[in-house]
Structures are given as C-alpha cells and as structure tokens.
Amino acid sequence: MSNFFPSIYDLAMRPLEKRKFQQIRKELLSHAAGRVLEIGAGTGINFPLYKNAEHVDAIEPNQGMIEQSHARKAAAAVPIQVHQQSAESLDFPDDTFDTVVSTLVFCTIPDPVKALQELSRVSKPQTKLLFFEHVKMEHPTLAFAQEALNPLWKRVCDGCHLNRDTLHTIQESGLQVTNVTSYYKGLFLVIESENNKAIDHPSL
Ligand SMILES: C[S@@+](CC[C@H](N)C(=O)[O-])C[C@H]1O[C@@H](n2cnc3c(N)ncnc32)[C@H](O)[C@@H]1O
C-alpha cells in the first residue's frame, strides 16, 4: 500500500485542495517563520507556500512520498531539506526550531503522544506549532459513522484514522492552544499552539 498511496495522493486530494485546502494552507503557513520543521511532509504540497521561513527541515518516513516531493522542493522559494525520519524519533537537537508545521499528519502517526513530546523537545521556548488536522467530529451520528468507517479507511488510506481527538491530545501534551478554527462542521481543525517551556538561562 505504501508504494501505491504516494502516487495517487495528490490526485485524490485535488478537489479538496481546489475548494478550500490551498487557502487554509496558505493562511497557516504565512505564520511559519525562522527555522521551520514540517513533519509528515508527504508529496511536498506545502513547499510552494513557504514565503517567510529562513529554512525548512521537512521530515517524512515514506520513501515513495519523498520521491513525489522532489519537484516541489526544487521549485520552492526558500531552502528546504527533506529527511527520512518519523515524528516520534527526531534526529535534531533540543531547542532547534522557531516554527513547527503539521498538516493532515496526526491522523496517521502511530504514536501521537510520543510525537508531541518530540516536537516539544526540538522546538524553542515560544515556538509556534501550527496544525491542520482532521479529527473525530462532535456530532454523535457523524462521530459514529467515523468509528464505523475507521477500520476500512485505515487499510485504504495508509494507516489514516478517522476517529482521533487530536485537539485533546495536543491540549494534554502541555502545549498552549492559542486558537482553533473549524471547517466542514468540525471535521477539519486549524490548531495554533505555542510551546511554553521555560527559557533555559545558563548559570553565570
Ligand atoms: C495524509 S498524508 C499528509 C501529507 C501532507 N502533510 C499533506 O498535508 O498533504 C500523512 C503523511 O504522514 C506521514 N507519516 C506517517 N507516519 C508518520 C510518522 N510517524 N512521522 C511523520 N510522518 C508520518 C505519511 O507518510 C504521509 O506522508
């Protein structure tokens, strides 16, 4: 599945991208500045939208996805380096990044809690962590339908879960959620958050 999924991903997403997602991504990524970490970058759909970043380190575990992202990386307005890594085990030092970006990734990450710990570790104090994710809906009937569809969906969509409460997981991680915007009756959320970890003052 993981070799087939990258080759159809952009085509499958095109209707949503045209209708709404490109606009959401553009607005979200206008807040990405300084040294940026993007996790689960996939086919590099966000790469053309970075305008204010100094440098983007994009991590992606799936080699097929990385191959699909080459052209967008080469055409980007800012320097982008793609690394084959997973969000649960990041090969970057503590306090490295000014902004962290995740779009449609927390549905798929096998261990979201561990991934958030890693994002917190590699981000500087006051780093912005910007998420655009699909989540379990609040409406009981729609949430029931998501639960029912989930086993099949996971198999067809390369491990993607329809029933994750990612906002709650982010809130529980200790990040401070500063803004939430809902789309499509709460199926998609833009979650803006900040890392509140203490600034480490070296002893004099
Ligand atoms: C639905 S795609 C989203 C791709 C892209 N971010 C977007 O906005 O279209 C989910 C991506 O997360 C990646 N992924 C899966 N497990 C991951 C992990 N543990 N760490 C980081 N990325 C992961 C997948 O390989 C895939 O590229």
Q: In this structure, what CATH number is given to the domain that contains residue 71?
A: 3.40.50.150
Closest listed residue to residue 163, CA positions, set 145, 185, 146: 146
Q: Write out the two tokens for 77.
A: 């307005």
The answer to the question of residue 85 being in a domain is: yes
C-alpha 141 to ligand 1 mean position (Å): 28
C-alpha 202 to ligand 1 mean position (Å): 37
Q: pLDDT (tens digit, 9 = 90+) per residue, 147-174?
A: 999 999 999 999 999 999 999 999 999 9
Question: Which atom, in ligand 1's list, is nearest to the CA of 42?
Answer: 27
Residue bearing the CA closest to ligand 1, atom 11: 40
Give dist(CA 119, CA 98) in Å, integer: 11
- The boundaries of the domain holding residue 113 are 4-194
DSSP state of 97: E
The answer to the question of residue 57 being in a domain is: yes
Residues in CB range of 12: below 8 A, 6 or more apart: none
The answer to the question of residue 182 being in a domain is: yes
The total of structural domains in the chain comes to 1
Q: φ, ψ for residue 34 (rounded to 5)? A: 70, -145
Question: Which atom, in ligand 1's list, is nearest to the CA of 110?
Answer: 19
The answer to the question of residue 171 being in a domain is: yes
Question: Which atom, in ligand 1's list, is nearest to the CA of 25?
Answer: 8
The ranges of the chain with pLDDT < 70 are 1-2, 202-204
Asked whether the CA dihedral 153, 157, 158, 159 is positive or negative, the reply is negative
The answer to the question of residue 152 being in a domain is: yes
C-alpha 48 to ligand 1 mean position (Å): 17
Q: pLDDT (tens digit, 9 = 90+) per residue, 43-58?
A: 999 999 999 999 999 9
Q: Write out the two tokens for 132.
A: 């655009």
pLDDT of the residue at 1: 43
Q: φ, ψ for residue 194 (rounded to 5)? A: -135, 150
Collapsing DSSP states into helix, strand and coil, what is residue 19?
helix
Q: Which residues line ligand 1 (CB under 6 A)?
A: 39-42, 45, 60-62, 65, 86-88, 103-105, 108-110, 160
The answer to the question of residue 202 being in a domain is: no
Distances (CA, A) of 5 to 11, 64, 65, 102, 157: 10, 8, 8, 19, 7
pLDDT of the residue at 95: 97
The answer to the question of residue 23 being in a domain is: yes
**Pocket-testing residue among 50, 89, 105, ligand 1, by greatest number of atoms within 8 A of Cβ:** 105
pLDDT of the residue at 201: 73
Q: Write out the two tokens for 21.
A: 């997602």
The answer to the question of residue 169 being in a domain is: yes
